[in-house]
Structure 1
Amino acid sequence: MIASEQCAVPAWYLIHCKAKQDKRAQDNLMRQGYECYRPTYRRERLSRGTRQTLSESLFPGYLFIQLSLHDNWAPLRSTRGVLRTVSFGGQPVAIADEIIDHLQLREREPSAQPLLTQGDAVRINEGTLAELEALFMAMDGDERVVLLMNILQREQRINLPMSSITRL
C-alpha cells in the first residue's frame, strides 16, 4: 500500500480524558461526528442495602476514537472532557482493529460481575451477631443473604438483610 493511501485508512487511537469525564468526552466527540468506543462492563454494587447493576468504564479515563491521519484532529484538543491523544515520540499510535473487535465481543457477553460469590468471607455489622465473620452461601431474594456460621462447634445457616454485612 502506498504511504498516502495508508494515511487515508481509518485506525483506532487512544484518547486520554480528564478525570471522571470519559463519558462526557465520548458524548461530545460523537456529537461532532467522530466514531468513538468506550468499553464498559457491568458489575453489582450494594447501595443503601439494595443491589444495583452498574455499567462502568473498563478503562476509566480513556476511550478509543477512529480516525485517519488525513482527518481533522484539531477539534480533539478543545473538546470538553478530552485531555490529549496518547502519543509516543509525538505521533499518535494506532491500536490494532483486532483488539477493539475483541473488546466489543467481550462487552456483548451478558455477564455481570457478582457482588458476592459463594464462599466469600463477610463480616456482620449489626444485630446480636455484630463483628462476627461468616461465609456467604446464596441470595435469599433481592435484599437478604444466606450465611454459614460456626456457632457452638456446629455449622448454622442464617438469613440476614444484605445491608447488615460487609465483604472482607
Structure 2
Amino acid sequence: MSEVRLTDTANKAWLAVNTQPHREALAMENLKRQEYISYCPMVRKRMVRREVLRPMFSGYIFVGLDPSQRWHPVHSTLGVRRILSFGGAPSLVADGFIQALKAREIDGAVIRPAHPYEIGQKVRVTAGPFDGIIASIVDMNEADRIVVLFELLGTNAKANIDIRSLASLDM
C-alpha cells in the first residue's frame, strides 16, 4: 500500500489528505482510478506475535500534484475525509519531505534513522531544568526519550530526557 504511481513524473507538491479511519488503502485505490499519484509511508509495528506494516501517519496519505492536475476532485474521493488546508487553500507538503521518507524505505517500510547515541555514552543536557549537567545514557526507547544517570546533590539520579535536549561530549 506504500505508493500508487501511474507515471514517473516528478511532483513538486503533495497534498496532505486525511482519510476515513483505516481507509488509507481504499482512498489510494480510488485516487489511482482518477490518475492521481498517492503515497502512504509505512512503518513496521511489533504486534503480540508478529511484525505488521502500519501507516506512519495513521489516517493520512499524500497526493502528488503536477501543475496540470486539479485538486478539488480529491475531496469527493471514496475513503477521503478532507484535504488539510489553511485559509481555504490546501496545505502543500514539499517534495523533498516525501523524497526523504522514500529514501529511508526498506522492504516497504520507512526505517528510523540510527540514534547518534548509545548506552554508556556521556552526554550534556542542553535544555530544561538539568541544562548543562553531564550524564551517562542508561536506556533508550522508541519515543525519542533517553534515560540518563547523573549526580545531583551527592546522589545518583535518573531522568527521562528528550533526545533533542542532549549533545554528545567530544571525549
Q: Which range, TM-score by smaller chain?
A: 0.5 to 0.7
SS in 1 for 2:93: coil
SS in 2 for 1:76: helix
Q: When the two structures are superposed, what TM-score results if normalisation uses the length of structure 2?
A: 0.52
SS in 1 for 2:47: strand
Of 53, 56, 63 in structure 2, the residue corresponding to residue 55 of structure 1 is 53
Displacement of 1:105 in angstroms is: 1.6
1:79 matched to 2:74? The reply is no
RMSD: 2.4
Aligned to 2:145: none
Conservation of the 8 A alpha-carbon contact between 1:20 and 1:61: yes
Conservation of the 8 A alpha-carbon contact between 1:36 and 1:65: yes
Aligned to 2:17: 15
Displacement of 1:111 in angstroms is: 8.0
Structure with greater contact order relative to length (CA < 8 Å, sep ≥ 6): 1
Displacement of 1:91 in angstroms is: 0.7
Residue-by-residue CA offset, 1:30-53 (whole Å, 9 max, x unaligned): 12211000000112211xxxx222
Q: Tell me the percent identity.
A: 35
Give the structure with the larger helix fraction: 1
Aligned to 1:32: 34
Residues 85, 69 of structure 1: CA spacing in aligned structure 2 closer, same or farther, 3 A cutoff? Answer: farther
Of 41, 44, 50 in structure 2, the residue corresponding to residue 42 of structure 1 is 44
Q: When the two structures are superposed, what TM-score results if normalisation uses the length of structure 1?
A: 0.53
In 2, the alpha carbon distance for the partners of 1:33 and 1:111 equals: 25
Conservation of the 8 A alpha-carbon contact between 1:16 and 1:82: yes
Tell me how many residue pairs correspond in the alignment: 101
In 2, the alpha carbon distance for the partners of 1:108 and 1:12 equals: 22
Q: 1:149-160 alignment to 2 at 5 Å?
A: none
Task: Please list every run of 5 or more consecutive structure 1 residues that lacks an aligned counterpart in the other structure.
Answer: 1-8, 114-168
Structure with greater Cα Rg: 1
Residue-by-residue CA offset, 1:111-164 (whole Å, 9 max, x unaligned): 889xxxxxxxxxxxxxxxxxxxxxxxxxxxxxxxxxxxxxxxxxxxxxxxxxxx
Displacement of 1:67 in angstroms is: 1.0
Conservation of the 8 A alpha-carbon contact between 1:21 and 1:61: yes
* Residue identity in the other structure for 2:91: V
SS in 2 for 1:102: helix
Task: Please list every run of 5 or more consecutive structure 2 residues that lacks an aligned counterpart in the other structure.
Answer: 1-10, 113-171
In 1, the alpha carbon distance for the partners of 2:93 and 2:40 equals: 14
In 2, the alpha carbon distance for the partners of 1:39 and 1:69 equals: 23
Of 95, 106, 120 in structure 1, the residue corresponding to residue 93 of structure 2 is 95
SS in 2 for 1:20: coil
SS in 2 for 1:95: strand
